[in-house]
Structure 1
Amino acid sequence: MGDNAKKALVDGLNGLLADHLALYLKTKNFHWHVKGREFRDLHLLFDEQATAIFANVDVIAERVRKNAANTLTSIGSVAAKTRIVDEDDTSLAPMDMVERLRDDNAALVKSLKELKELAGDAGDNATDGLIDEWTDEAEERVWFLSSVLG
């Protein structure tokens, strides 16, 4: 495994870690602030998805450490690495929330597919295998959110 391939993988993993943390918080934000007729169903769906997203955080960080590198260390480091756009509006319509989470999860799927190539280039079979699981989970979230939108 070349140093450049390993550095690219670690950088990608830290980006994935940042995206998971940011998407977790965004999903919980929507869980806390959803209103309307769809409240119960969306409140529960958002909480379920946030829990699944957060479950991957430690595993991703440990992959960085197992590659002899440092993980993100602060909110600032997460903000600098994430591609998930912040959402501070607590009055969004429920379907706007669903749409934004669907799009964020779809973007995460794309990032995961790019990261899989980096894991292959770095010869990191363990990360390569985990990426398949994470991709499947993100694709399921996209499917659920798309189905809510009709």
Structure 2
Amino acid sequence: MAKKKVSNEADLKRRRQAPLITPTDLKTGATRDIAGGLNGILADVFALYLKTKNFHWHMSGPHFRDYHLLLDEQADQLYAMTDPIAERIRKVGGTTLRSIGHIARLARVSDNDADYVEPLDMLAELREDNKSLAGRLREVHDVCDEHRDIASASLIENWIDETERRTWFLFEASRVGKGGG
């Protein structure tokens, strides 16, 4: 009985020292690598979401309605990714982003604070940002494969597909036809 009490006290002390460490069969290095990669993706997704909404809010021109709706749909897709990414980080034993400042430190998506951006330039910039995001998702997928984190890799595969779809739509929406428009 005394041995069990000592064990319980040791467990209690350990939980107090690390209250957010989710139990996982992944090794500490795997948790660090996967959570780190996913936190970078999460920061990029938040930054790309805000940039997409910025362009959605400031869209103008003859294709306003189509572009406005397209960017709103794409922003919704990006926002829908955030909670599953953050929850996956917690499931593998990591901690996730805590503030706008944390996002700013990790995000690799460049801001665009210009007073005015041409509609086709908006689409081109978002297309390149989504294309870059797809590449970074592939990099994190490789990390997940290395550590045999099948669940994270599976989610990432879907996010790559969604990101490629956004890239494709932005490309097609910005093409200039033979008739000049």
Give 4+ residue runs of structure 1 displaced > 2 Å after superposition: 1-6
Distance 2:76 2:157 in 1: 19
Partner amino acid for 2:35? V
- TM-aligned CA deviation for residue 7 of structure 1: 1.1
- Residues 10-62 of structure 1 show CA distances to partners (whole Å, capped at 9, x for unaligned) of 10000000011000000000000011111111000000000001001000000
Task: Give the Cα–Cα distance (whole angstroms) in 2 for the partners of residues 58 and 135 of structure 1.
Answer: 16
- Identical aligned pairs, as a percentage? 47
1:94 aligns with 2:119: yes
Corresponding position of 1:19: 44
Question: Which deviates more, 81-90 or 102-111?
Answer: 81-90
| Higher radius of gyration, 1 or 2 | 2
Q: CA deviation at 1:4?
A: 2.3
Find the aligned partners of 1:57 and 1:6 in 2 and give their Cα distance. 19
State yes or no: 1:119 paired with 2:144.
yes
Structure 1 position 120, deviation (Å): 1.0
Residue 53 in 1 paired to residue 82 in 2? no
CA distance in structure 1 between the aligned counterparts of 2:61 and 2:174, rounded to whole angstroms? 15
**Which of 66, 84, 87 is the aligned partner of 2:91?**
66
> In the alignment, what sits opposite 2:179?
none
Q: CA deviation at 1:123?
A: 1.7
Following the alignment from structure 1 to structure 2, what is the Cα–Cα distance between the partners of residues 149 and 5?
Answer: 41
Structure 1 residue ranges without an equivalent (≥5): none
**Structure 2 equivalent of residue 5 of structure 1:** 30
What TM-score do you get using the length of structure 1 for normalisation? Answer: 0.97
TM-score normalised to structure 2 length: 0.81
Moved more, 57-66 or 83-92: 83-92
CA deviation after TM superposition for structure 1 residue 136, in Å: 0.1
Q: Which residue matches 1:144?
A: 169
- Alignment size in residue pairs: 150
- CA RMSD, Structure 1 to Structure 2 (Å): 0.9
The alpha carbon displacement at 1:108 in A equals: 0.3
Counterpart for residue 55 of structure 2: 30
Moved more, 12-21 or 1-10: 1-10
The one-character-per-residue Cα deviations of 1:75-109 (angstroms, maximum 9, x if unpaired) are 00000001100111131000000000000000000
8 Å CA contact retained: 2:141, 2:153: yes
Q: Show the counterpart of 2:64.
A: 39
